[in-house]
Amino acid sequence: MMLTTVTVDTMRAWILNDTDGPDSFSLDEVDTPEPGPGDVRVRIVMSGLNHLDLWVSQGLPAPGSFPHVAGGDAAGVVDSVGEGVDGWSAGDEVIVDPTVSCGKCEQCLHDDATYCADFSILGEHRWGTLAEYVVVPARNLRPKFADLSWEVAGTFGLVTGTAYRMLKRARLRRGDTVLVVGIGGGVSSMAFLVAKALGARVWVTSRSPEKITWATESGAEGGFDSSADFSKEAKEVTNGGVDIVIENVGPATWNQSIRSMRKGGRMAVCGGTTGSKVELSLPALFFKQLEIIGSSMATHSQFARALHMVESGDVVVPIDSVHDFEDVPAAIERLDSGEHMGKVAIRR
C-alpha cells in the first residue's frame, strides 16, 4: 500500500469554537489561510485587542462559522501575494486596515467602503489577527514606515479610524467644543486625541478620576464624573452646551449627552457599551435642532489620514500594555477589566 502525504501548513491561532464569552478563546493549530486573487498574506508582528473581540466572543455578532479567529488590528510583514496583486511583495512592512468590503460596488469605487453591502470588520465575519498570519485584500494594506513603533502600528487602527470618521461625520471644525463621553475606552480616547489635534477644545467624562487626570494632562480642557449630572457642568464651561458629543456608552449616559449639546449640536454614536436601546425626547431633538449621527469604522482614505496623524506625531497613541502571544487570556482580562488606559498589544 502506498501512502500519500498531503502537507498543509498550519499556524497557531487563538480560536473561538463557541461564543460563551471571553473564556472561549483557545490556542490551537489551524490551516494557514492562502491568499486568493487580489489578496495578500501578512505574517503578523504585532496585533491589538479591541472591545469588538470581546463582543464577538459573546456572539455579538456571532461569527459565520467555527473555528473563528477574532482580531481587527495588526501590523506585520508581507508573506505571500495572491494573483493579480501589484505594488506589494514579500518582505514589505505593512499595517492592516480592518474595514473589509467588496471593492467592486459603486460605494467601494467611491471610497465609501463603510456603505458597501458586504461591509464587514476584520475578525468579525472573516478570520482576523489573533493568529500568526492573516489574509486581507491588498487594498487593506498601508505601508508601515520604519519610525513608527510596532506597538502603535499594530494597535492604533480600528479605534483611530473610527474616531476620525466620527469627528468628520459630526463636521468638526477648528475651535469647536467637543465632549467625549467615557474616556479610557479605545474609540473615546482616540476621539479626544484626534479632536484636539484637529484644533478642537475637548472635555471628557469618566467614572475614573485617574482617567480624567490622564486626559487633562494630555490636553483636555477638563473632565466630569460620568455618573453625575455632567450636562450641567458641560453647559456651564461652554456657555450653553458643546458643539459635538462623541458617544459610545449608550443608555447610562444618553440623556446627559443629549442635554450637554448646544442648539444645533451634533452627536456621533459608534456603539453602546451599556446597552443597545435608549429613549429619545422628541422635543429635545427638534426644539434644540440636534443631529444624532451614526458612524461605523472608516473609509480607506479616512484610515490613511488617521495613520498620517499618528505617523506625524500629531496624535500620540497611548499603549497600556504589551503581552506575549501565548498570554492572550491575560491581555483579554486586562481589556475586560476596563482598567486599561490605552491599547492592549499582542506581540509575536
* Nearest-CB residue for Zn ion: 116
* Cα dihedral value 214, 297, 44, 56, nearest 10: 90
For the bound state, the minimum distance from the C-beta of residue 95 to Zn ion, rounded and expressed in Å, comes to 21
Candidates 93-101, 176-184, 203-211, 314-322: pick the segment binding Zn ion (CB under 5 A).
93-101
Regarding 304 and contact with Zn ion (CB under 5 A), the answer is: no
Give the footprint of Zn ion on residues 110-149 (CB under 5 A): 116
Of the candidate spans 10-18, 94-102, 127-135, 293-301, the one that interacts with Zn ion by CB under 5 A turns out to be 94-102
Give the nearer residue to Zn ion in terms of CB position, either 80 or 101: 101
Non-local CB neighbours of 13 within 8 Å, separated by 6+ positions: 27, 28, 29, 30, 67, 69, 127, 130, 131, 132
- Spell out the residues 6+ positions from residue 65 whose beta carbon is closer than 8 angstroms to its own: none
Strand partners, 205: 224
| Closer of 101 and 238 to Zn ion (Cβ) | 101
**Which residues from 95-114 bind Zn ion, rule CB under 5 A?**
101-102, 105, 108
Nearest in space to 49 (alpha carbons), one of 337, 338, 331, 339:
331
From the list 248, 154, 268, the residue with the least C-alpha distance to 200 is 268
Nearer to Zn ion, 108 or 331 (CB): 108
Alpha carbon separation from 177 to 131, 284, 289, 347 (Å, rounded) = 41, 20, 17, 37
* Smallest distance, Zn ion to C-beta of residue 116, A: 3
293 binds Zn ion (CB under 5 A): no
| Closest by CA position to 284, among listed 254, 312, 305, 323 | 254
Q: Least separation, in Å, of the C-beta of 111 and Zn ion?
A: 11
Q: How far is the CB of 117 from Zn ion (least distance, A)?
A: 6
Instruction: Select 124 or 151, whichever has its Cβ closest to Zn ion.
Output: 124
Between residues 108 and 345, which has the closer beta carbon with respect to Zn ion?
108
Cell of 10: 498550519
Least distance in angstroms from the C-beta of 105 to Zn ion:
3
Q: How far is CA 156 from CA 131, 133, 293, 308, 344, in A?
A: 18, 19, 23, 11, 10
Whichever of 107 and 256 has its CB closer to Zn ion, that residue is 107
Nearest CB to Zn ion, comparing residues 137 and 271: 137
How many residues make contact with Zn ion (CB under 5 A)?
5
In angstroms, give the least distance from the CB of 139 to Zn ion. Answer: 11
Q: Say how many Å lie between the first and final Cα of the chain, rounded.
A: 42
Shortest CB 125 distance to Zn ion, Å:
14
Which C-beta is closer to Zn ion: that of 77 or that of 102? 102
Residue 106 CB, nearest approach to Zn ion (Å): 8
Strand, helix or coil for residue 133: strand
Closest CA to 268 of 193, 160, 188: 188
Residues in touch with Zn ion (CB under 5 A): 101-102, 105, 108, 116
